[in-house]
């Protein structure tokens, strides 16, 4: 897509904003969780720039309501990332090239619960669902995959609990969320390694929104956390439009594979998008390979470019 200087000033959003997205006419994008928050904004801006955007959502009614307010070419398709059968059905229904996949949907700080397939909900939805979706759609993808992670990947225990991915007996909402966001970055890293090794031009990138005021925080398990989040949304956070900028930057600018984009302001909380760092654990090549192997075993979705559209 568009070539640009990836070194962005920390002086604010005006240095790069959605108005600088290049013409995307003729391109097709899928955005998971596009019915609200930064996913809705990202989908709307991609459509405004000329892309045909598929809102991949769990709730079709809410997805249609979100798409109805968008200027541009859109459609809404059912996708429940907490159910592998739904992921497989979505992928099986895809035909033709797909320029851009934005793995945006997610859940945050939930009480302990399981996906339809028995996985811890945050790990199962945020990582395994997107892992399976990406692998199943990969032969169709022509340009890039952008996966939304979080600064929270630095929190929790700082590593993936490979011997206890469901966190049985040690579950805590923050621990589970942090593990899932760390998994997002390890997935991005290993996907890019495999693409490069295969000689594919497709790129794998990651982004995080900083602190964006969305409805995600309202679903946290702890009522005290919900109050603190609400205060933070008013005092610290940027709006969902600002929070979507790193995703849009990663989705449309000429960046190296495995790049990680986030806000340029203090603490990466808000500001114009720029390339940002990640924890040592998120850069661990061996952990990324191990996670990939485990994820293939759990989902049955195996990396393959057979029959790739080019």
Nearest to 233 by CA among 251, 216, 258, 256: 216
Strand partners, 126: none
Length of the chain: 310
Among 171, 177, 260, 303, which one carries the catalytic annotation? Answer: 177
135 contacts 194 by C-beta, under 8 angstroms: no
User: Taking the CB of residue 65, how many other CB atoms lie within 10 A of it?
Assistant: 13
CA atoms within 13 A on the CB side of 309: 15
Q: Residue 285 and residue 296: Cα distance in Å, rounded?
A: 17
- Is 171 annotated in the active site? no
| Sheet hosting strand 141-148, strand order edge to edge | 74-78, 52-57, 28-32, 98-103, 141-148, 203-207, 260-263, 273-275
210 contacts 246 by C-beta, under 8 angstroms: yes
User: Taking the CB of residue 74, how many other CB atoms lie within 10 A of it?
Assistant: 24
Q: Residue 174 and residue 200: Cα distance in Å, rounded?
A: 36
143 sits in which H/E element: strand 141-148
Catalytic residue numbers read 177
């Amino acid at each position: 897509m568009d070539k640009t200087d990836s070194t962005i000033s920390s002086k604010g959003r005006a240095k790069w904003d959605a108005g600088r997205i290049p013409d995307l006419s003729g391109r097709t994008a899928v955005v998971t969780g596009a019915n609200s928050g930064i996913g809705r904004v990202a989908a709307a801006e991609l459509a405004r720039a000329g892309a045909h955007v598929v809102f991949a959502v769990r709730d079709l009614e809410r997805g249609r309501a979100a798409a109805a307010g968008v200027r541009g070419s859109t459609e809404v398709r059912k996708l429940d990332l907490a159910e592998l059968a739904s992921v497989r059905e979505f992928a099986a229904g895809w035909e033709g090239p797909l320029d851009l996949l934005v793995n945006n949907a997610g859940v945050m700080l939930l009480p302990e619960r399981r996906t339809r397939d028995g996985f811890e909900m945050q790990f199962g939805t945020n990582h395994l669902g997107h892992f399976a979706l990406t692998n199943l759609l990969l032969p169709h993808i022509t340009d890039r995959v952008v996966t939304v992670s979080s600064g929270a990947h630095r929190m929790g225990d700082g590593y993936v609990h490979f011997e206890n991915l469901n966190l049985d007996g040690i579950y805590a909402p923050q621990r589970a969320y942090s593990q899932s966001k760390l998994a997002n970055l390890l997935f991005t890293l290993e996907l890019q390694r495999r693409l490069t090794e295969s000689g594919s031009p497709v790129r794998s990138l990651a982004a995080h929104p900083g602190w964006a005021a969305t409805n995600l925080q309202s679903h946290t398990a702890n009522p005290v956390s919900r109050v603190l989040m609400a205060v933070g949304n008013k005092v610290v956070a940027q709006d969902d439009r600002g929070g979507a900028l790193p995703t849009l930057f990663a989705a449309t600018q000429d960046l190296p594979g495995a790049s990680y984009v986030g806000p340029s302001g203090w603490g990466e909380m808000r500001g114009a998008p720029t390339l940002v760092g990640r924890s040592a654990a998120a850069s661990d090549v061996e952990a990324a390979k191990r996670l990939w192997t485990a994820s293939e075993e759990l989902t049955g979705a195996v990396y393959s470019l057979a029959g790739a559209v080019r």
